A = this chain, B = another copy of it.
Amino acid sequence: MPPESRTAITSTLRELPHFRLLKRDMLDAVAAACNLRVYETPQPVFFEKDPCRSFWVVRAGGVKLFRLRPDGREQVINHLHSGQSFAEAALLNIGVYPVNAMTTEPPTELIEISGEHLRRLMRENDGMAAAMVGSLSMKLLDLVQRIDELSASNAATRLARHFLRLPGAGPSDRPTIELSVTKKDLAASLSITPETLSRILRKWQDDGLIESNGRSITILDAAQLMQLSDGEDGTPV
C-alpha cells in the first residue's frame, strides 16, 4: 500500500474514540497492520452469521447494517458514515456478525482491523480498553435513542424525530438536510414503507413545514417539526 494511504488511515483512526489516546508510534503500528478496502455501491461487506474476525471503520462513504426479514424486506439497524466504527461488539463477544453490512454511497472506503490486532492492543495498552469502554457506551446510548425513535407511535413522529436528530437541524435555523441514503432506505430504517414516507413528505411540503427536492430537504418550520416529534397531531384544525 502506498505510504500516503497509510498517513490517511492514521488520521482517520486518530479521530476514533478508541484510538484517541494512543501514542503516535502505536497508532502508526495499528495503521500499518490494517486493511483499507474500497467498495462499489451497493456492495456487501459481510453477511449475517458470517464469522467475525475484524471490526471496521468508515473512512469515506456510508454503510448500512440491516437484517433481512422472512418476507425479504430489510430492517435497517443503523447507518454509519465517515469516522464511525462497527462490529466491535460482535468481534469481542460472539465472533459472528449479527447483521448484514452493505455500502450505500460511492466511493466507500473501509478500514478493517483484525480482532487479533485489537486484542493485542488491549493487552499491551492500558488506556485502550478504557477507550473502548467509552466508545461502546456511546453506541449503547445511541441504540437507546434509536429504540425511542422506533417506538414512537406514528410514522410522522418518527420521521420528525429523525430529522431533528440529524446534525445541523437546530430549532432556530432553516437547515437544508442532504439525505445520505435513498428514501427507500430511510423508510426502512424508520420501519415504514416508502409510500408512507413519500406521503408524509408531501403533506409537510403542502403544509409549508419543509421544502423537498430530491434528496435535499429544507426545514422551513422547525418549531412545528418539534411539536410533531413530541407526538402531537399534524393538523389541529
Contacts and interface: CB of A to CB of B under 8 A. Distances in A.
Interface of A: 67, 69-71, 75, 77, 88-90, 92-94, 98-99, 122, 126, 129-130, 132-134, 136-141, 143-148, 150-153, 191, 230-232
Contacts of A144: 77, 98-99, 143
A143 B71 CA distance: 22
A70 B157 CA distance: 11
A148 B150 CA distance: 10
Number of copies: 2
B129 A133 contact: yes
The winner among A92, A122, A143 for most chain B CB atoms within 10 A is A143
Given A122-B130, A133-B129, A140 B141 contact: no
Contacts of A132: 129, 133
Nearest to A71: B231
